[in-house]
């Protein structure tokens, strides 16, 4: 599936829904981790069997829910880089090349971007993206401006 490119405005518009899905993903992840580490033992083998069966069923159901939410975000065009950190990238075209607008859990709006190969460690403030766009537009002759 080809990437879906976002403008900063379209990424900001979808951000409330993205936040809800990331919140769900984080909750599913925590519940899955809890179940992975859960140890319940009874002296009755039948009780152990029933408990193990219920835990396994819930574990697999949570995985299913997790991947459903993940696929929904990806269908919207978002790229989930890290669920625990709540790191989401939005493909964006800047000066003819692909970059990522970048949002992290806890941030109110999209305030960063980075080059494809840099990853989140190379995040720059969105002001640099806007300054470059503004500067390029003003450097053009008057007749070429839109």
Tokens describing residue 110: 């999209």
Give 32-86 as a DSSP string: HHHHHH-----S-HHHHHHHHHHHHHHHHHHHHHHHHHHHHHHHHT-EEEETTTT
Tell me which DSSP letter residue 121 carries: G
* Total-model pTM: 0.79
> 4-35, pLDDT tens digit by residue?
999 999 999 999 999 999 999 999 999 999 99
The reported pLDDT for the residue numbered 40 is 83
> 40-76, pLDDT tens digit by residue?
888 888 888 898 899 999 999 999 999 999 999 999 9
User: Domain ranges in the chain?
Assistant: 8-139
- Of 30, 55, 31, 60, which Cα lies nearest the Cα of 42? 55
The answer to whether 77 and 90 are in contact (CB under 8 A) is yes
The answer to whether 81 and 89 are in contact (CB under 8 A) is yes
């Amino acid at each position: 599936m080809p990437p879906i490119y976002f403008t900063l405005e379209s990424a900001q518009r979808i951000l409330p829904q993205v936040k809800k899905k990331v919140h769900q993903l984080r909750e599913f992840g925590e519940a899955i981790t809890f179940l992975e580490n859960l140890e319940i033992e009874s002296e009755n083998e039948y009780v152990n069997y029933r408990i193990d069966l219920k835990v396994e069923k819930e574990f697999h159901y949570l995985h299913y829910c997790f991947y459903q939410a993940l696929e929904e975000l990806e269908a919207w065009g978002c790229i989930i880089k890290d669920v625990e950190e709540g790191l989401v990238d939005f493909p964006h075209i800047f000066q003819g090349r692909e970059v990522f607008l970048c949002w992290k859990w806890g941030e109110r709006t999209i305030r960063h971007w980075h080059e494809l190969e840099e990853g989140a460690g190379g995040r720059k403030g969105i002001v640099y993206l806007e300054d470059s766009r503004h500067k390029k537009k003003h450097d053009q002759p008057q007749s070429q401006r839109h």
